[in-house]
Amino acid sequence: MILRLITFGAAGVVYLALRFWTLKGVIPLKAGHLSDLSSFQLFINVPPLVVKYIGKLLLPTSLNFDYVFDPVYSISEPRAFISALITIALVIIIWRLALRAKEFAFALLLIFIPLLPALYIPALGLNTFTERYLYLPSIGFALLVVLIVNKVIVEFSRSKGYSFKYKLTAVIVILSVLSVVIYSVATVKRNKLWHSGYTLWGDTVVKSPASRIARNNYAIELSKRGFQDEALVHLQEAVLIDSDSALTYNNLGIVYAKKGMLNEALGAFKRAVEISPNDADARRNYSRALGLLKEGNR
């Protein structure tokens, strides 16, 4: 057994060494919002993600379509340090349960194993934290709750007697029904927000005002409904959030054009092309705006 563990450990060390040499780090960096983070900084951002996912499993409130990544830069930051301690504690708990209560360990593993791909930050792009990654882990969480409740009932029935067991079971059933009702009402309310892009992105902008994606999409929905001035405000906010987004400038140009502000539209499309020369939409819109201006000057 020890020899097998040593073999696996040695293979892991060799793999990490080769990965570090090939990728210039344990975790390859991506451009954009992750470009200013080192491999170590990406690594210490994993525990805060773990804690955030656990929080959403325990209390799924304030659901949001687009979360803005707020990284930690040092392990000395309280959020990073506390999250690391919680994550280490969870690993120890899973390890100890694996030796004593395999069913509890299985439930915890059913929570965290499906989450592992969602913790590889460089592969996630802008969706660093997304609620949909909790679909599979929620199965493990439900199993864990059932196991805990069953354990409580069994232990109390031994010490308090079977009459107390039935009372406790009745209380648990009532609480379970209340939970189902509360979650059902919350689900219906959430579904109403998903009724259209307008309602969904409107809610997202309120909850994530620093999201460039939310600002862009809400502006598009506003523009479709003829609210060009409101759309313009959100796109200008998106530019302040990220001044190097070709998509934002392209959308800005479209809204300017709808308002009849062709010079401003041309400037926005030009900036989009400068940022992303291979963006076909930006080039096409730039050419159209240029053509309209030339026709107007004749």
Token couple for 231: 């759309």
pLDDT in tens, 129-184: 888 899 999 999 999 988 888 888 887 777 776 677 777 788 888 988 998 898 89
CB of 262 within 8 A of CB of 293?
yes
Under the banding of pLDDT at 50, 70 and 90, the label for residue 204 is: very high
CB of 254 within 8 A of CB of 285?
yes
Q: What are phi and psi of 160, to 5 degrees?
A: -105, -15
Range name among 150-154, 169-173, 234-238, 294-298 with the lowest pLDDT average: 294-298
Token couple for 279: 């963006």
- The helix (run of H) or strand (run of E) holding residue 245 is none
Three-state secondary structure readout of 256-296: HHHCCCHHHHHHHHHHHHHHCCCCHHHHHHHHHHHHHHHHH
pLDDT in tens, 62-88: 899 999 888 889 999 999 999 999 999
Q: Which CATH architecture has domain 197-296?
A: Alpha Horseshoe (1.25)
| Residue-range domain boundaries for the chain | 31-171, 197-296
For residue 167, the tally of other CB atoms under 10 A from its CB is 12
Across the chain, what does the average pLDDT equal? 84
> How would you label 101-123 residue by residue, b for 16+ Cβ within 10 Å and e otherwise?
eeebbbbbebbbebbeebbebbe
